[in-house]
């Protein structure tokens, strides 16, 4: 479709957080024009949208999530990470079917759309079913392997890498493992060999808790980043999730190896894992993205809340109200996330980029007065301000309605059926 958005405030995120007034045009899955209003007579539009002064900006990139965990939302709360995983989550996941993963991912996608999320970096069970759900629902998804000692095999990860990359314009796949504490050295060495075969980046949970870090040092005499680096796992870049307990040496290593860090403040707060030193990451020149983590540890998939927590917790940690400026947080939630995920064609609003665009409604009380619109998005904004979510040139959510052809109530009912079955006995 060819769509013209006019009378808009446009936040391109291309270099800074300046707002300009003008128009944005899409043609199919790409943006064809961003700039001042100009004569468009002769263009045959499928639709023209008066933005009424609202903000158009790149969609949020949820750079770490486990979408299929929607079944466990508020199922196992107020527990430490290891107890939560071992006594509640892992036993329930063992009962999940591939169709469960598909249906529960569909529920998560509805939530993403309401919050302006246009791309997700998803690590969970049966990636092909996550991919199927994202294709059916219109969500852009970068899949990442969660390989560990319980499965799948390194050979299966390679098969997924070859089959899922290129299967659909909305889908890509990255190699990775769940975490150091769920993988033995021999397995990690096999993964490293595969990375070197294809010369591709690597992703994993890392340094999320003090216990995880201390036990790795006890096992190998090195922190998790240093141990993984000794095996060559970071030789082609990539990223890690959490990074709460990274040392100065770890951060220097990541800066040298071009390893991004995805912070997950909501989950880390709820599980009492700690506060990631995001301000120090920035000082070291690391690329920092933002993720919600899964909806059973967070428990919501809300990038607005994550953005506020990123800057708010950094200010508390550093005892400095100027720490981690809101504009830097907006960059993390959009541009940086796209780069860590390997989708730079979806990072900013510019001609030739993918048409992954959201509209922020300024005609809401929480966005008034218009003193500083961009900082208000971080400090005061919420999902109620998402007026429209477009992915790949298609408007999938607008004015509170899903436009991707799904029956939301049926998806909700299915999720309740699944958790009732999984929690039996």
pLDDT for 172-201, tens place per residue? 999 999 999 999 999 999 999 999 999 999
Q: How confident is the model at residue 88 (pLDDT cuts 50, 70, 90)?
A: confident
Q: What is the mean pLDDT of the segment spanning 406-413?
A: 97
| Domains identified in the chain, total number | 2
What mean pLDDT, rounded, does the chain reach? 96
In a domain, 424, yes or no: no
Quote the CA–CA distance of 241 and 266 in Å, as a whole number: 13
Quote the CA–CA distance of 329 and 309 in Å, as a whole number: 10
Task: Report the CATH number that the domain containing residue 374 is assigned in CATH.
Answer: 2.30.40.10
In a domain, 389, yes or no: yes
Same domain, 40 and 109: no
Quote the CA–CA distance of 376 and 372 in Å, as a whole number: 6
Q: Note the pLDDT of residue 165.
A: 98
Task: Report the CATH number that the domain containing residue 170 is assigned in CATH.
Answer: 3.20.20.140
C-beta separation of 153 from 187 below 8 A: no
Same domain, 329 and 231: yes
Same domain, 211 and 360: no
pLDDT above 90 covers a percentage of the chain that reads: 92
C-beta separation of 209 from 235 below 8 A: no
Domain ranges, residue 372? 2-58+346-402
Same domain, 371 and 322: no
Closest C-alpha among 280, 238, 242 to residue 259: 238
Q: Note the pLDDT of residue 85.
A: 80
Q: Is the pLDDT of residue 41 over 90?
A: no
pLDDT digit string, tens, across residues 90-126: 888 889 999 999 999 999 999 999 999 999 999 999 9
Last residue of a domain, one of 317, 344, 371: 344
In a domain, 422, yes or no: no
Q: Is the pLDDT of residue 77 over 80?
A: yes
Same domain, 281 and 398: no
Q: Is the pLDDT of residue 89 over 90?
A: no
pTM listed for this prediction? 0.97
In a domain, 224, yes or no: yes
Closest C-alpha among 130, 140, 112, 105 to residue 301: 112
- What are the structure tokens assigned to 101, written together? 């993963």
pLDDT digit string, tens, across residues 241-255: 999 999 999 999 999
| Locus of tokens 């064609």 | 345
C-beta separation of 362 from 375 below 8 A: no
Q: How confident is the model at residue 87 (pLDDT cuts 50, 70, 90)?
A: confident
Q: Half-sphere exposure of 63 toward its Cβ, with a 13 Å CA cutoff?
A: 36
In a domain, 416, yes or no: no
Q: Note the pLDDT of residue 425.
A: 62
């Amino acid at each position: 479709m060819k769509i013209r958005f006019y009378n808009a405030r446009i936040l391109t995120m291309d270099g800074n957080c300046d707002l300009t007034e003008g128009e944005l045009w899409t043609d199919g899955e790409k943006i064809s024009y961003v700039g001042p209003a100009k004569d468009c007579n002769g263009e045959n539009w499928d639709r023209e949208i008066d933005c009424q002064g609202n903000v158009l900006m790149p969609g949020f990139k949820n750079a770490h999530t486990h979408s299929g965990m929607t079944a466990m939302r508020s199922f196992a709360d107020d527990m430490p990470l290891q107890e939560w995983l071992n006594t509640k989550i892992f036993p329930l996941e063992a009962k999940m079917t591939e169709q469960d993963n598909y249906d529960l991912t569909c529920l998560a996608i509805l939530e993403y759309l309401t919050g302006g999320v246009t791309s997700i970096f998803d690590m969970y069970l049966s990636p092909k079913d996550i991919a199927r759900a994202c294709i059916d629902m219109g969500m852009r998804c970068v899949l990442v392997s969660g390989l560990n000692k319980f499965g799948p095999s390194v050979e299966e990860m390679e098969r997924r890498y070859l089959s899922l990359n290129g299967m659909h314009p909305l889908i890509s796949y990255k190699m990775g493992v769940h975490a150091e504490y769920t993988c033995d050295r021999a397995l990690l060495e096999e993964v490293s060999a595969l990375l070197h075969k294809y010369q591709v980046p690597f992703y994993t949970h890392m340094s999320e808790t003090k216990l995880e870090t201390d036990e790795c040092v006890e096992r190998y005499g090195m922190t998790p980043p240093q141990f993984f680096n000794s095996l060559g796992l970071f030789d082609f870049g990539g990223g890690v999730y959490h990074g709460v307990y990274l040392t100065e040496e770890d951060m220097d290593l990541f800066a040298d190896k071009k390893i991004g860090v995805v912070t997950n403040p909501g989950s880390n707060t709820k599980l009492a894992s700690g506060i990631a030193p995001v301000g120090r990451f920035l000082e070291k020149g690391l690329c920092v993205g933002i993720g919600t983590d899964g909806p059973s540890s967070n428990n919501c998939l809300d990038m607005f809340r994550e953005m506020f927590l990123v800057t708010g917790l950094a200010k508390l940690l550093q005892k400095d109200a100027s720490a981690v400026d809101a504009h830097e947080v907006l960059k993390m939630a959009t541009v940086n996330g796209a780069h860590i995920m390997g989708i730079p064609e979806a990072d900013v609003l510019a001609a030739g980029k993918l048409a992954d665009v959201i509209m922020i409604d300024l005609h809401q009380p929480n966005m008034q007065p218009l003193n500083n619109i961009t900082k208000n998005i971080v400090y005061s904004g919420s999902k109620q301000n998402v007026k429209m979510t477009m992915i790949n040139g298609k408007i999938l959510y607008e004015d509170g309605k899903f436009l991707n052809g799904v029956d939301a109530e049926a998806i909700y009912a299915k999720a309740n059926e699944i958790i009732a079955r999984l929690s039996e006995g």
